[in-house]
Amino acid sequence: MSIIQGAILGLVQGLGEFLPISSSGHVLLASMLMGVEFNDTYKILVILLHVGTLIPALIVFWNDWIDMILHPIRNKTLLLLFLASLPSLAFYVVFDLDMFDTGWFLGPSFLFTALLLLLTDILASRSADPARNMRIPNALAMGIMQGFALLPGVSRSGATIFGAVASNVRKDTAAKFSFMMSAVAIVASLLVEGKDALEDHLFDKLELAPTLVGIIIAAVVGYLSIRFMLKIITRYPLSWFALYLAVLGIVILVVQLTASPLFPAFRIPEGMHLIRLGH
């Protein structure tokens, strides 16, 4: 991988992690278009790019992290973040999502995210008195939607914000909690996947310069993205992001259905199973 490719993937990751457009889907899309080889080392690179976007989530909400750690009884955020992580953990354990790594399902995933964003705007406009504070049911609703975001192309921030708004939470409150959820998800992914990578010596195979450039750019762009989203989340509808994703999803599906070599055909890969249990 070249430094330019690493920089592009870092840029895409930084934008997609906090804008409701799916970082995983766009990184996968960019990788396919650039001809990046998909292997175990690539998976570690993607995790490290996510670590780049972990940095702005820690910086922007630094005071919140400190307060919840020092005062876990008074400040319920830590408990809520833990509860919100449980549904997606269950999704990860039960479902074998490796079958989506080739990108054959990107089109429908982008279209699904577009639908969620449109529904978010509709529900937010109809809600009479949305809550300013997160509660356990809201956190669980966001956690369930985060499970769907394990699919490349389904935006984690878009899905979780929808879960919050659908359970009658303000969009700005939802966005903040969603971005904090991302930090927990990234740390968990790093611990799980990083352990296996260390045992398999995959970090030794990473190209240092492209990886570092990607991480740094992901961190800088991620910081700008998170500030941008927090500023516009209550001022502008998410429908503009939905329009972009709808067009992108349709284009990808059309390309797939015309048997173009750009993307894998829209069909379930042979020999793949959705459920892990029993294997």
**Domain extents in the chain:** 3-257
Q: Beta-carbon neighbour count of residue 139 at 10 Å?
A: 28
Please answer whether residues 180 and 64 qualify as being in contact, where contact means their C-beta atoms are separated by less than 8 angstroms. Answer: yes
Q: What is the pLDDT of residue 279?
A: 44
Q: What is the pLDDT of residue 84?
A: 95
* Cα–Cα distance measured from residue 91 to residue 102, given in angstroms and rounded to the nearest whole number: 19
- Per the DSSP assignment, residues forming a β-bridge with 169 are 131
Q: What is the pLDDT of residue 275?
A: 66
Q: Which of 236, 224, 238, 228 is nearest to 55 (CA)?
A: 224
Q: What is the pLDDT of residue 276?
A: 61
Q: What is the dihedral of CA 34, 152, 22, 113, to 10 degrees?
A: 130
Residues of the chain short of pLDDT 50, as ranges, are: 278-279
Residue 210 makes CB contacts below 8 A (sequence gap 6+) with 1, 2, 3, 5, 6, 7
Please answer whether residues 264 and 105 qualify as being in contact, where contact means their C-beta atoms are separated by less than 8 angstroms. Answer: no
Please answer whether residues 181 and 146 qualify as being in contact, where contact means their C-beta atoms are separated by less than 8 angstroms. Answer: yes
Residue with tokens 């750690």: 69
| Predicted TM-score of the model (pTM) | 0.91
* Inter-helix orientation angle 3-18/40-60, to 10°: 50
Radius of gyration of the chain (CA): 18
pLDDT digits (tens, 9 = 90+) for 135-186: 999 999 999 999 999 999 999 999 999 999 999 999 999 999 999 999 998 9
Q: CA 224 from chain center: how many Å?
A: 17
Q: What is the pLDDT of residue 74?
A: 87
The 3-class SS string of the chain reads CCHHHHHHHHHHHHHHHHCCCCHHHHHHHHHHHHCCCCCHHHHHHHHHHHHHHHHHHHHHCHHHHHHHHHCCCCCCHHHHHHHHHHHHHHHHHHECHHHHCCCCCHHHHHHHHHHHHHHHHHHHHHCCCCECCCCHHHHHHHHHHHHHCCCCCCCHHHHHHHHHHHCCECHHHHHHHHHHHHHHHHHHHHHHHHHHHHHCCCHHHCCHHHHHHHHHHHHHHHHHHHHHHHHHCCCCCCHHHHHHHHHHHHHHHHHHHCCCCCCCCCCCCCCCCCECCCC
Q: What is the pLDDT of residue 203?
A: 77
